[in-house]
Homo-oligomer: A and B are copies of this chain.
Amino acid sequence: MNDLSQQLQFINEMDKLKAVYRRALIKADNNRRENSAEHSWHIALTAHVLAPYAEEPIDVGRVTLMLLLHDIVEIDAGDTFAFDDSAILAEQSDKEIAAAKRLFGLLPPSQAERFISLWMEFEEAETPDASFAKAMDRVLPLMQNIQNNGGSWAANTVKKSQVINRNRHLERSAPKLWGFVLEEIEKATEKGWLQDT
């Protein structure tokens, strides 16, 4: 196959991310479950809107591409709930690495290598770009749950401490947002949407 055939095959394969459903609920669409494609759009846009709060210099173009790519592995590996048992989450990690090889491997080698490298940078969440991208991926579900009477937190009896830990990337990458998030988590706990432990 030539490069274009490979690229078109990859683009077609991406349609499948629209059939991967998350726990998050879309209040604006009769509380149906959100899929990972529309979630990826929303956080990529969120990164542009909230980029002024980044504590360290970030390249918002790289952050955006990371966010467009970050869930593609779910086409093969499926979505896991953020607050599942750690054993489930560890097994998921192996599945996602195999998925990244197969899915990005549909592309010509130079693009495949670039995309896998960005995906791994996101997963490791150590660089300023990746840490900010990870923070966006985690803060948006929080906002959705707050808009929706607790949403997937309330439905799955999630603990306050779990949500705080999950959003800690913000503490480093956007401290002003971190302050806001801590206040919102307190309010959500007072309303009974999060378990107070």
**Which chain A residues have a beta carbon within 8 Å of chain B's beta carbons?**
3-4, 7-8, 10-12, 14-19, 26-29, 34-35, 37-38, 40-42, 44-46, 48-50, 52-53, 60-61, 64-65, 68-69, 107, 111, 140, 143-144, 147, 176-177, 180
Complex CA gap A50/B111 in Å reads 10
Residues in B whose Cβ lies below 8 Å from that of A180: 4
Looking at chain A's contact residues, the main secondary structure is helix
Which single residue of chain B is at the shortest CB-CB distance from A62? B61
Residues of B within 8 A of A48 (CB): 65, 68
Partner of A49, one of B18, B29, B107: B107
Q: How far is the CA of A25 from the CA of B78 in the complex (A)?
A: 22
